[in-house]
Structure 1
Amino acid sequence: MSVWGKLFSAVRGGVNEVAEGAADAQALRILDQEIRDAEAALRRARSDLAGIMATTKSLARKVEEAQAKDAKDMDSARAAMAAGREDLARGLADRVSKNRAEAARDQAEHERLQASQAQMIRAVQDTETRIQTMRREIEGVKANESLLKAQSAIASSHAGVNSRLGSAMESLERVKKRQEMTAGRIEAGAELQSLESGSALDRALLEAGIGGGRHSSDDVFAELLRGEKAPAISGPAAPDRQLGFDPKP
């Protein structure tokens, strides 16, 4: 296939897809129109059937009248023969012959119309049944279509709510983390401030000679010149004191 042929096929395929998509989108409207068309055709069929039935009845009456006239003419012909009026009997015989030929044609037409009438009655009844069935099915399809649309809208709305909830939860977590970090910074700042203020106070006390001990070499040498004993370092009691034994005599 040539390139132009392939392109033409592709274009036709696209047109068919568009047409099918449009038909699917308007499927229920198309079904309603098709049902209306079928009902209009059914009304025409009923009208035609009514005409055939009227013609059939008219032919039936005509055949009955021809039969009644045939019987009357035959009685009159017999009476004419009995009266010796052969000329009258022959005239009646000729009329009966014509009437019988016409009645035979009417009878044949009547039978043909009866067969057509029966066929059309069956067709009309079948069409009525099919239309009623289609109507019920279309109503069911419409109800199902409405249900599917409602379910789709609910699902879409639910998905949107879930998406918004998810986004809100993420925002909430970010806010919590930011608050935790801010609180941590505040606590750390307070601790640093406490440590800094305590160190400054300790330094000030030491410089003022308050609290703590000064154990420089000058202090130790001064203690030696004075003959002072080194200050006892607090610690656990000696074992003999723990036992209540005094080492002095």
Structure 2
Amino acid sequence: MSAWGKIFTAIRGGANEAAEAVADSQSMRILDQEIRDAEQSLRQARSDLAGIMASNKSVMRRIEENRAKEAKDTDSARAAIAAGRTDLAQGLAQRIATIRTELQRDQAELDQLLPRQQQMLRAIQDTEARITQMKREVENVKANEALLKAQSALAHSQSGINTRLGSAVDSLERIKKRQEATAGRIAAGAELAALENGNDLDRQLLEAGIGGSSQSADDILAQLMSSPAQDPLALPTGKKNG
């Protein structure tokens, strides 16, 4: 195959794929329209069947009426023969012959219409059953299509939620690490400040019970109550003034 032939084949293949893609995207609409078309054809078939049934009833009614006329004219012809009126009997015989001709024609027509009526009736019943089944299947397909769309949307949404949650977790971890680093820097700064002014060493001595003392108000009150009152101007014992 030449290069131009291959290009032409590729173009045709692309056109077919595009047409199939359009058909797939409009499949539900196409199905609905096909069912409407089938229902329209079914209504036309019912109308045709109703016409055939009406014709059959009309033919059967004519057959019954002609048979009744034939029976009546036959009885009258026999009575005329019995009365010696062969002229009347001859006229009745001619009319009976005409009636029988009409009966044969009507019966032949009825024999053709009845099978056609039965055939159309079976076709209509089969078509009705097929349309009913098709509607049921289309409804199932529509329900499945809606379910698949909902599941797809949910899966897409869930994927987005998982992505956002993952991003949120990462952000939370970064915040925690930043807070821990900040707290560490603050604690280190406090320790450095304590080392610079000696407070840390004094604190450690007090914690070890070395140096310094602290008395509570209860201790001071007990000392005051146990020692005699002294003149604030009095010198300590063993010392003299000037």
Query: TM-score, normalising length from structure 2?
Result: 0.71
1:227-246 equivalence runs, <5 A? none
Give the Cα separation in 2 of the matches to 1:39 and 1:182: 78
Give the Cα separation in 1 of the matches to 2:38 and 2:99: 44
Aligned-pair CA distance for 1:142: 1.8
Say yes or no: does 1:131 pair with 2:134.
no
Give the Cα separation in 2 of the matches to 1:15 and 1:185: 69
Seq. identity, %: 67
Give the Cα separation in 2 of the matches to 1:150 and 1:118: 48
Give the Cα separation in 1 of the matches to 2:103 and 2:197: 138
> Greater shift after overlay, 85-94 or 97-106?
85-94
Structure 1, unpaired ranges of 5+: 199-249
Aligned-pair CA distance for 1:85: 3.4
Aligned-pair CA distance for 1:2: 2.8
Give the Cα separation in 1 of the matches to 2:72 and 2:8: 81
Say yes or no: does 1:75 pair with 2:87.
no
Aligned-pair CA distance for 1:160: 0.1
The residue number in structure 1 matching 2:118 is 118
Aligned-pair CA distance for 1:187: 6.0
Give the Cα separation in 2 of the matches to 1:92 and 1:3: 92
Residue type of the partner of 1:65?
A: E
The residue number in structure 1 matching 2:28 is 28
Say yes or no: does 1:38 pair with 2:38.
yes
Give the Cα separation in 1 of the matches to 2:135 and 2:160: 37
Tell me how many residue pairs correspond in the alignment. Answer: 198
Largest Rg, 1 or 2: 1
Query: Cα deviations across residues 160-204 of structure 1 (Å, max 9, x unaligned)?
Result: 010111122223333444455555566666777777888xxxxxx
Aligned-pair CA distance for 1:7: 2.1
Aligned-pair CA distance for 1:27: 1.6
Aligned-pair CA distance for 1:9: 2.0
Residue type of the partner of 1:67?
A: R
Residue type of the partner of 2:56?
A: T
Give the Cα separation in 1 of the matches to 2:162 and 2:176: 21
Aligned-pair CA distance for 1:101: 1.6
Distance 1:98 1:4, change over 3 A: farther
3-state DSSP class of the match of 1:131?
helix
The residue number in structure 1 matching 2:158 is 158
Aligned-pair CA distance for 1:120: 1.6
Alignment RMSD (CA, Å): 2.5
Distance 1:2 1:95, change over 3 A: farther
Give the Cα separation in 2 of the matches to 1:147 and 1:47: 40
Give the Cα separation in 2 of the matches to 1:122 and 1:21: 38
1:45-194 equivalence runs, <5 A? 45-181=45-181
